[in-house]
Amino acid sequence: MLALTIIGSIMVVIEISVSKKILPALVGRKLLHFTAISTCAWAIAHFDNRLLLGLVFSVCFLILRWVIKRGWMQVNASRTYGIALFPPAFAILLFIEIIPIPIIVYAVLLLGIADALAGLYGTYAGKKKIVFLQESKTWAGFGAFYVAAFFVSLIYCNDYSLHGILFATLLAILPALTELFSYKGSDNFSLPLVTAVWYLLLFDQSTNVLLYLGMIGLLAGLFAYAAIYKKWLTVAGAVAAVWMALLLYASGSFKAFVIPGLFLITGSLLSKLNHKIEEKEGRNARQVFANGLVGLIGMIFYYFTKELPLLWTAMASFCISLSDSVSSELGIYFKGKTYDIIGFKKMAIGLSGGISIMGTLAGWVGAMLLAIVAGFAYSIDPLIVFWIAMAGFSGMLIDSIIGSYFQVKYKLENGNLTENALQSAKIARGYSWCDNDTVNLLSNLLVSTLFFLLVR
The amino acid present at 229, given as its one-letter code, is: Y
Element (H, E) at 427: strand 426-429
The span from the CA of 82 to the CA of 75, in Å, is: 11
pLDDT score, position 421: 65
The per-residue pLDDT for 354 is: 80
Q: What is the DSSP code (8-state) at residue 71?
A: T
Question: Can you give the pLDDT at residue 68?
Answer: 72
Within a 10 A sphere around the Cβ of 378, how many other Cβ atoms?
19
- Encode the chain (456 residues) as per-residue pLDDT tens digits: 565 666 666 666 666 666 666 666 667 677 777 888 888 898 899 888 999 999 989 988 888 777 777 665 454 445 566 677 889 999 999 999 999 999 999 999 999 999 888 888 887 787 788 888 888 888 999 999 999 999 999 999 999 999 999 999 999 999 999 999 988 788 889 999 999 999 999 988 899 989 999 999 999 899 888 888 888 889 999 999 999 999 999 998 888 888 888 877 777 777 766 655 445 567 889 989 999 999 999 999 999 999 999 999 999 999 999 998 888 888 777 777 787 788 778 877 777 778 888 888 989 999 999 999 999 999 999 999 999 999 999 999 999 899 888 888 777 766 666 666 665 667 767 787 888 888 999 999 999 999 999 998
Q: Could you state, in order of their start, the residue ranges of all structural domains in the chain?
A: 1-204
Neighbours of 92 (CB within 10 A): 17
Q: What is the pLDDT of residue 160?
A: 92
Which of 181, 177, 171 is CA-nearest to residue 220? 177
Helices (H), 126-253: 139-157, 162-178, 187-202, 207-229, 235-252
Find all residues with CB under 8 Å of 62, minimum gap 6, and list them. none
Q: What is the pTM of this model?
A: 0.88
The residue among 340, 351, 294, 338 whose CA lies nearest residue 319 is 294
* Other residues' Cβ atoms within 10 Å of the Cβ of residue 266: 17
